[in-house]
Structure 1
Amino acid sequence: MTKFHECMSEFFKNGKPFFAVIFIQFGFAGMDILSKAALNEGISNYVFVVYRHAVATILMAPFAIIFDRKIRPKMTRSVFIKIMFLALLEPVIDQNLFFMGMKATTATFTAAMTNILPAITFVMACILRLEKLNMKGIRSQAKVVGTVTTVAGAMVMTLMKGPIIELFWTKERTFHEVANHVDLRHSLKGAIMIAVGCFSWSGFMVLQAITLKSYPAELSLTAWICVMGTIEGAIVALIMERGNTAVWALKWDTSLVAVVYTGVVCSALAYYIQGIVMKMRGPVFVTAFSPLSMVIVAVMGSIILAEQMYLGRVMGAIVIVAGLYLVVWGKSKDQEVESLPVSEELKESCNDKITTGKGSDEASDNHNRLNGLA
C-alpha cells in the first residue's frame, strides 16, 4: 500500500469518519443551489451530467494511475459489469431524474424528497446483509430509531414553519422571501422522478460497498465510475437531445461553474470519500447524514442571504441532530464489538459446550457476555 493510501486510511480511521460525510453534505448543499441556477439558465440536464463526469474523470484519472498502480486489482468481467451498473445507477439514472424532478418542482421540495434516502438504503443493506440487524440489541434499535428520526426531522423542517425567529445577524436587514411557484400538474411527476432517483442512488451506495470488497482500490473505482458515467451519459444525451447540437455549448456563466463544482466536489471527491468511509462503516452510515444538507442550507441561507428562520426549521434541525447521534452511536458500538478479538472464541465456546452439555455454567456466562455486547 502506498504512503498516500496509508495516510488517508489512518485519517479516516482515527479522525472520525463523520467529518468526511459532513464535508460531503456541505458539497451537496452547494450543488443544490448551483444546479438549480444552471437549470434555470437553460442547460440540458443530460448534457450537464455528461460534462460533470468528464470533469471528474479528468481530475481522478491521474491520481488513480499514480497512487493505485501497486494495489490496483486485476480487472475482471464481474467487476467491470458492476462498474457499468454503478455508472448507470448514479451518474445516469439518479442524476438525470434528480435534475428533471428539480425542474418540475423546486430545490426545497427536491431536498425534502431526497431525505427518504437513508430509509431506503437501510432496508436494502439489511436485505443484502451489509448491515447487521438484531432488534433485540440496543445497537440495532438505535440505528433503526435514528434513521427514522432523521427522516422525520427533515419532514418537520420542510413542512412546518411556525413563528419567525429573530437572529442577531439578520436583525435590521431586509428579508427577501423568494416564492417558487410550481405548477401542481407537474409536481406529482417531479416527485415520482425524485423518488425513483433515490432508489437508484441507494442501489448505487449498496453496490459500491459490495464492489469495494472485490476491487478495493477507491481511486481507481472512482475513476472508472466517472469514465463509464461519461460514456453512458453521453449515449443517453445524444439520444434525448438528437438534432439539437446547441445544447452542447457551454457559456462562461453559472452553468460552467456548476459543471466544474459538481464534477470536482460531488462526483470525484464524493465517490472517493464515501467509498473509503463505506469500507469502514457501511452504506447506512454515509446516507444517514443526507438530511444534514437541509440544515446546512437553512443556516447558510440565514447568515449569507438573511433568509427568515422559522421555529419549525429549528425544531426539525434539532430532531435531525438527535437522529444522527443515535445512528452514529449504534455504528460506533458495532465497531467496538467487531474489534473484540475474543468474540469468535466466545461464540465457538458457547456452541461447543452447549452442544456437548459440558461446562454449562461457563457456556451460560459466555452467552450472557455475547448478549451484553449485542
Structure 2
Amino acid sequence: MKQYPAEVIVVFLYNLCGTLISAPVCLLLEANLSVWKINPGITLITIIYSGVLCTGLSSLVHTWGLHLKGPLYISIFKPFSIAIAATLSVIILGDALYLGIVMGAVILTFGFYAVIWGKAKENELSEDFGECRTQPPSKAPLLHSYRVEDNIDNWYIDC
C-alpha cells in the first residue's frame, strides 16, 4: 500500500485474481452446468450481496485500514471479528450462549485491547525519540531496571 496507495484498484485486482483462480476450480468440481443457472429472486440477491458487501466492501475496508494503520491492526481485527460474530449470532439469531463463547470473547477482547495499548505506548515512545535526535532521551524507558544514565554514551545508536 505504500508503493501503490489506490485502495479501490488493489481490491479490484485482488478480487479479480481470486475469481480467475476459483472459477476454473469450481467448474472442474461441478461438471453439471444446470447447477450454475442463476434464478432471479433471493438467489440473485444473495449472490450480489455476498459479492459486493461481504467480499468487495470488506476487502476495501481492510485495505484502507492497512494503508492507514499498518498490518498489525488488520491482523488483530480478524480474531476479534469472531467474537463480534458470536455476539451477533446470540443477539440476532437467538443462538445459545455457551460458556466457551463468553470465555473466548473475553480473552480475544483483552488481547485486542492489550495490543492496542501496546501499540499506543510504542507510538508514544517513537514520538519521544524521533527520527534521529541530537540529544539523549529525557523520559525514562518502560523497563525500570534499565537505566538511561548507564547508556547515555550509546544513545545515538538508534539514529
Q: Residues 332, 239 of structure 1: CA spacing in aligned structure 2 closer, same or farther, 3 A cutoff?
A: same
Give 1:320's aligned residue: 108
Distance of 1:369 and 1:250 partners within structure 2: 66
**Counterpart check, 1:272 vs 2:95:** no
Gaps in structure 2 of 5+ consecutive residues: 138-147
Distance of 1:337 and 1:301 partners within structure 2: 40
**Counterpart check, 1:282 vs 2:70:** yes
Distance of 1:348 and 1:215 partners within structure 2: 36
One-letter amino acid of the structure 2 residue matched with residue 300 of structure 1: L
Number of corresponding residues: 148
Distance of 1:229 and 1:364 partners within structure 2: 52
SS at match of 2:39: coil
The structural deviation recorded for 1:225 is 1.9
Among 243, 248, 256, the residue aligned to 2:44 = 256
Among 77, 80, 91, the residue aligned to 1:292 = 80
One-letter amino acid of the structure 2 residue matched with residue 239 of structure 1: L
Which whole-Å deviations, capped at 9, do the CAs of 1:1-43 have from their partners, x for residues lacking one?
A: xxxxxxxxxxxxxxxxxxxxxxxxxxxxxxxxxxxxxxxxxxx
Distance of 2:27 and 2:134 partners within structure 1: 57
Q: Is the 8 A contact 2:136 2:155 kept in 1?
A: no
Distance of 1:336 and 1:231 partners within structure 2: 44
Gaps in structure 1 of 5+ consecutive residues: 1-211, 351-360
One-letter amino acid of the structure 2 residue matched with residue 237 of structure 1: C
Distance of 1:305 and 1:294 partners within structure 2: 15
Structure with the greater relative contact order (CA < 8 A, sep ≥ 6): 1 or 2? 1
Give 1:336's aligned residue: 124
The structural deviation recorded for 1:341 is 7.7
Give 2:30's aligned residue: 241
Give 2:17's aligned residue: 228
SS at match of 1:277: helix
Distance of 1:232 and 1:310 partners within structure 2: 38
The structural deviation recorded for 1:303 is 2.4
Q: Is the 8 A contact 2:79 2:108 kept in 1?
A: yes
Q: Is the 8 A contact 1:346 1:366 kept in 2?
A: no
Higher CA-based Rg: 2
Q: Is the 8 A contact 2:62 2:74 kept in 1?
A: yes
- Per the normalisation by structure 1, the TM-score is 0.34
CA RMSD of aligned residues (A): 3.5
Give 2:92's aligned residue: 304
Distance of 1:298 and 1:223 partners within structure 2: 29
One-letter amino acid of the structure 1 residue matched with residue 39 of structure 2: K
Distance of 2:43 and 2:97 partners within structure 1: 29
- Per the normalisation by structure 2, the TM-score is 0.70
Among 346, 349, 370, the residue aligned to 2:133 = 346
Q: Residues 313, 233 of structure 1: CA spacing in aligned structure 2 closer, same or farther, 3 A cutoff?
A: closer
Q: Residues 238, 370 of structure 1: CA spacing in aligned structure 2 closer, same or farther, 3 A cutoff?
A: same
